[in-house]
Amino acid sequence: MNDLLRLARGVIATGIPGTALDDALHARLREAGFGAYVLFGRNVASLAQVRALTDRLRALDDPSPLIAIDQEGGRVARLRDGVEALPSMMALGATGSPELAERAGEQLGSDLRRAGVTLDFAPVVDLALEAASTVIGMRSFGSDPRRVTVMAQAFANGLQRAGVHATFKHAPGHGSTALDSHVGLPAVDADEATLRARDFVPFAACAADARAFMTAHVIVRALDPLHPATLSRRVLTGLFREEWGLRGCCFTDCMQMDAIARGVGSVEGVVAALAAGADCATISHDLDLAFAAADRLVVEVESGRLPLERLREAHDRVMRLREQAQPPLPLDTPPPHPGIGREIGRRAVTVLRGTPHADPTSACAISFEGARADGVATDARDAASLAAQAPALDLLRLPLDPDPEQLAGALARLAASQRRAIVLARRAHLHAGQAAAIAAIVERQPDALVISVQEPFDAELFTEARHVLATYGDEAPSIAGLADVLFGGAPATGALPVAI
Same domain, 319 and 368: no
% of the chain surpassing 90 pLDDT: 91
Alpha carbon distance 37, 284 (integer Å): 9
Q: Per-residue confidence at 236, pLDDT binned at 50, 70, 90?
A: very high
Which is nearest to 214 in space by CA: 179, 177, 169? Answer: 169
115 by Cβ neighbours in 10 Å (0-12 / 13-18 / 19+) ranks as buried
Instruction: Note whether residue 336 is domain-resident.
Output: no
Q: Which of 309, 324, 339 is the last residue of a domain?
A: 324
How large is the angle between the packed helices 98-115 and 145-161, nearest 10 degrees?
Answer: 40
Same domain, 392 and 471: yes
Which is nearest to 498 in space by CA: 424, 429, 401, 399? Answer: 429
User: In this model, does residue 31 exceed pLDDT 50?
Assistant: yes
pLDDT at residue 374, as a whole number = 54
Same domain, 164 and 252: yes
Q: Per-residue confidence at 376, pLDDT binned at 50, 70, 90?
A: low
Q: Which of 324, 340, 363 is the last residue of a domain?
A: 324
Same domain, 306 and 384: no
Q: What are phi and psi of 28, to 5 degrees?
A: -65, -40
Instruction: Note whether residue 331 is domain-resident.
Output: no
Same domain, 432 and 303: no
**Contact yes or no for 130/98 (Cβ under 8 A):** no
Same domain, 150 and 256: yes
Same domain, 375 and 273: no
Q: How many helices (H) and strands (E) does the chain have?
A: 18, 20
Instruction: Note whether residue 313 is domain-resident.
Output: yes
Domain that holds residue 320: 3-324
Q: Per-residue confidence at 49, pLDDT binned at 50, 70, 90?
A: very high
Supply the CATH number for residue 357's domain: 3.40.50.1700
The number of domains in the chain is 2
Q: Which residues are designated catalytic?
A: 182, 253
pLDDT averaged over every residue in the chain: 95
Alpha carbon distance 174, 468 (integer Å): 29
Instruction: Note whether residue 500 is domain-resident.
Output: no
Instruction: Note whether residue 343 is domain-resident.
Output: no
442, containing H or E segment? helix 432-444
Same domain, 243 and 357: no
Q: Which of 324, 341, 365 is the last residue of a domain?
A: 324
pTM: 0.96
pLDDT tens-digit series, residues 386-404: 999 999 999 999 999 999 9
Same domain, 215 and 102: yes
Same domain, 201 and 131: yes
Q: Which of 36-40, 61-65, 183-187, 350-354 has the lowest mean pLDDT?
A: 183-187
Same domain, 280 and 384: no
Supply the CATH number for residue 123's domain: 3.20.20.300
Same domain, 306 and 186: yes
Instruction: Note whether residue 419 is domain-resident.
Output: yes
pLDDT tens-digit series, residues 55-84: 999 999 999 999 999 999 999 999 999 999
Q: Per-residue confidence at 377, pLDDT binned at 50, 70, 90?
A: low
Instruction: Note whether residue 396 is domain-resident.
Output: yes
